[in-house]
Each structure stands twice: as structure tokens, then as C-alpha cells.
Amino acid sequence: MEAASEVARLGAAASASGGLHRGESSGASAFSADELQFLKRVLRESEDRGQRVDQAVLRIRLKNHAPKRGRALTVEQLYELASWFPEHTSRLVLVAGQVGARQSFWFGLTDDMLDLDSGTMAIPAELAKNRREHRVYLTSVEVSLLREQLLARAPRTNLVFPTPEGGQWDRSRFGDRVWRKSVAAAARHDREPLDGAVSVFDGFHVPLAAAHRWIAHGSGWL
């Protein structure tokens, strides 16, 4: 039947593109393997009922996907990396590298979410990974960096880390305009190349700072 042929075509295409998967974690790979086996069982049962099935789909095997491992930077490495970024985003690298959080949070961070006098940063539910409102406790270094950023950012905006024009970054523009160029420049001068080992805000946390924050303020961790 045409429907069975279409399923076979889609299955073969998925295999050619790297297999049926929803991510690179081992859990996602295992779930995809279950899906593939279920698909094959359905097609075999359809074949037993007289449906025409392309045998190629029954021979599909999942390809192995090795998960990428991020590179955790030391404080010294983080500052070295930030030194290759434009002035308008270097503090974003430093603060995000020490605090953590997803890039969408930093791109959307506004003045009213900061209380630098008390050293806290409010995280609204819509920007939190767990969709729960909470606070992050900042170190004195992070407070100083944020105070500097408020003075150095583009004028007439309430975004803490805006574009040079005062607008809001998104993943694509930040990657194209800033991240890839700056990481490539850092990699050319680094004994252990960063290019390909560090992605935007993933695997980007400083271990000691992160551990200290978790122990001291577990309720405020993102």
C-alpha cells in the first residue's frame, strides 16, 4: 500500500540522517531504539495482514551517537576567553560563566530583576528552567561586573545585556555576530583549542564558583 511505502521512505530517510533520535543523551538514544523496534513490529504485523511493506525499512539499524562533552573552564580560562569578546559582551561571558543559567535568560535579563545592593537576582518563572520563580545569590565579583555592565551597555534600554544597538539578542544572531568569531580567535591562541569544545552557555560553568553557590545557596540555584 502507498501508506506503508511512505512509512518505509520516511524510516530510510531518518536512518540516513543519523537515526531516529530526539537528542544526544543516552536516554534519548534508548528511547529512539524502542521507537524503531515498535515501528518494525507494526510493519511486520501489517505485512502479515497482506499489506505491502518495503523490506528495506525492516533492515534499518540505529547509528551510534557519541554525546558531546562540554569543557568546564577554570576561572583563569573563563577570563581569558572573555578577553577575546567585544567589550559589549565580555561581561556577559564572565557573569554567565560563573552563575550558569540558559542563554535565553541572559538575553532577557532586565533592570528590575536585579537587586545589586542585596546581591540578588530574581528569576521569573517564565525564564527559569524549572518554571518556578526564585532568586540567585550573587558573589561580590558578579555584582561588580553587573554594575559595570549597566554603565557600559547601550543607552535607552532596560536590557542588562543588549546588542550594541540596544536590542535583544537571540541565539542565532549572538552566535553569528559574536560567539563563533570570538571563540575562534581564542582558539588560535589557546594551547587547548576551545573551538568545538564549548557551545553557547553549555558546559560553560566555572566548577569552583558553581560548587560554592550550590552549597551556600542551594535554593537559589538555577
> Count of domains in the chain?
2
The three three-digit cell numbers of residue 165, written as one number: 544597538
Kindly state whether residues 40 and 102 are assigned to the same domain. no
pTM of the model: 0.59
Kindly state whether residues 43 and 83 are assigned to the same domain. no
- pLDDT of 141 reads 93
DSSP 178: I
Kindly state whether residues 120 and 147 are assigned to the same domain. yes
151: left (phi over 0), alpha (psi -120 to 50) or beta: alpha
Kindly state whether residues 52 and 88 are assigned to the same domain. no
Q: Domain with 185 in it: what CATH number?
A: 1.10.443.10
Task: Give the residue numbers spanning the domain of 33.
Answer: 2-59
Kindly state whether residues 113 and 166 are assigned to the same domain. yes
- pLDDT of 218 reads 36
Domain presence at residue 69: no
Q: Percentage of residues in the chain with pLDDT exceeding 70?
A: 66
Kindly state whether residues 104 and 18 are assigned to the same domain. no
- pLDDT of 163 reads 96
The residue ranges of the chain whose pLDDT is under 70 are: 1-32, 64-72, 190-222
Cα distance between residue 217 and residue 137, in whole Å: 7
Domain presence at residue 185: yes
- pLDDT of 186 reads 82
Domain presence at residue 139: yes
The three three-digit cell numbers of residue 179, written as one number: 560567539
Domain presence at residue 155: yes
Domain presence at residue 9: yes
Helix (H) / strand (E) element for 135: namely strand 134-137
Domain presence at residue 25: yes
Point out the domain boundary residue: 18, 34, 59.
Answer: 59
DSSP 117-143: TTTEEEE-GGGSTTS--EEEEPPHHHH
Kindly state whether residues 114 and 169 are assigned to the same domain. yes
Kindly state whether residues 52 and 96 are assigned to the same domain. no
Kindly state whether residues 119 and 45 are assigned to the same domain. no
Kindly state whether residues 12 and 117 are assigned to the same domain. no
Q: Which of helix, strand or coil describes residue 67?
A: coil
